[in-house]
Amino acid sequence: MLDLLLGGFYGDEGKGKIASYLAIKDMPDIAVRTGSINAGHTIMYNGKRYGLRSLPSACLNGTSTLAMAPGALIRRDVLFRELEETGSSTRLIIDPHTGVITDQDVEEERNSDHLKGTVGSTLQGVGSAESKRILRTLKLAKDYEELAKYMADVPDRVISALEDGKRVHVEATQGHFLSLYHGEYPFVTSRNTTASGVLSEVGIGPRYADNIIMIFKAFITRVGGGPLEGEITHEEAKALGADEYGTVTGRARRVSHFNPEVAKEVVRINSANQMAITKLDVKFKGAYKIRDYSKLPGEAKEWIEKVENEVGVPATLLGTGEDTMDVIDRREELIK
């Protein structure tokens, strides 16, 4: 069984939380990370905070094989630091075609007034490296001796696991509206962040995806330039407890209210069959750390059921606190 975990808005939806919860709950045989280091997945588990930029969030479960997709980009210093911090070195595999970001890529982006000013890029070298891949000048993981021991055919490993009846999680980065093709260009990232693009990065076809889970937050945030319908001021966001800061950049996130019409469009384009909603405890204070749906405040349940009706798919996973395990898991009840 393959579970594909995607961001529904502009990133920062809590993908790391949902991915780490599912990794611990489901214990997938393989967890694949797509995307690159310009998207950080923040996890709180057993009192410790992790800000992952390379490894799949399943690094916390201690058993899953951790795979870097051929379409992903890594930076070696970031990857090795996370391997050391999580003790995951023996579980990592990297596809030979995974791209490698260099210091030159970072420098090129930092010297770009367009990326710094107009786009509001994180300036991590990702776009520069992706452009070199298209020009066929990018160095790949197979070109680095220090990565040789991690080399593996990731599409083959994933497909073989699925054919053997094992479970695979694919963890995407950023969000639907940051897609290079389907987002609000030019205020986008350097890859296709939709379901089709993520599966392409892994190297598998759409029929392998059993569950496509769109991860939304109970409110919308984005970092950098570009439109944000219904945007509220930072002071208003702070009053709601919705003031947040980027994992990678530390920049304040812009905020607006949850938009079910937009969420419905995202679900349709990505052919999602489930959604997760995080930060429910920010919208409804009485939901904090609740892990049983029946114990949620009535107003929270009414809001969830309204969103489900408007968006058209069940909210199977609800985040109610900062810890990985602060989740209401309704999959058994709602997915037959």
Provide the annotated active-site residues: 12, 41
The answer to whether residues 327 and 21 touch, using CB atoms and an 8 Å cutoff, is yes
Q: What is the CA radius of gyration of the chain?
A: 19
Closest CA to 217 of 329, 320, 326: 320
Helix H or strand E segment including 311: helix 298-311
Tell me how far the alpha carbon of residue 204 is from its chain's centroid.
18
Whole-angstrom distance, CA of residue 91 vs CA of residue 80: 13
Omega before residue 186 within 30° of 0, cis? yes
Give φ, ψ of 12 to 5 degrees: 65, 25
Closest CA to 43 of 328, 243, 319: 319
Measure the CA–CA gap between 59 and 336, rounded to whole angstroms.
29
